[in-house]
Amino acid sequence: MRIRLAATGFGVVMMAGVLMGCGPQKPGETDVLNVSAKLPAGLPAPVMDWRVVTSGVDRAHRTMSTLTANDAAIFYTGVGKYPAGSALALTTWAQREDPHWFGARIPGGFASVELVTFAKGADGQTTATYRRFVGDPVHEVIGAADAEARKAAILGMRNAEMP
């Protein structure tokens, strides 16, 4: 009888130890935040502080992008006529597997920010300027051959429709 009680007591202590060891642990920064998708310092505008216009995935290149607009531009997206001071930014990331959701893909490393800004020219007309930024540390790509096509593609993006 004594041996059974001792064994039972030992089992209770062991079970309590196992259960206490399985308790919740404080998640680390990488468990809560997607730190690999952080934008590099040195971008010319706070593009992630702007309002989201739309987003998309390019499966062929395994990237995902978010189009944001500053307050001056947000009501003109997709219309085509922006006032001076307007700015749009298409931020692109490489995709990576989501460690918390099987089969899901999330933003990985920063790929680029494409910025279209509007200003009044010497003739009084509002014109759009395209700039592209890549790398970490970030640097501007000068003289991109596809600059006009990329500018047209960004300006042609429509607002996301929410049900």
Q: Which of 99, 88, 135 minimizes the C-alpha distance to 27? A: 99
Whether the bond into 44 is cis, omega within 30 of 0: no
Measured torsion, CA atoms of residues 14, 17, 22, 26, in degrees rounded to the nearest 10: -170
pTM for this prediction:
0.78
pLDDT in tens, 55-104: 999 999 999 999 999 999 998 887 778 999 999 999 999 998 888 888 88
Domain regions of the chain by residue span: 36-155
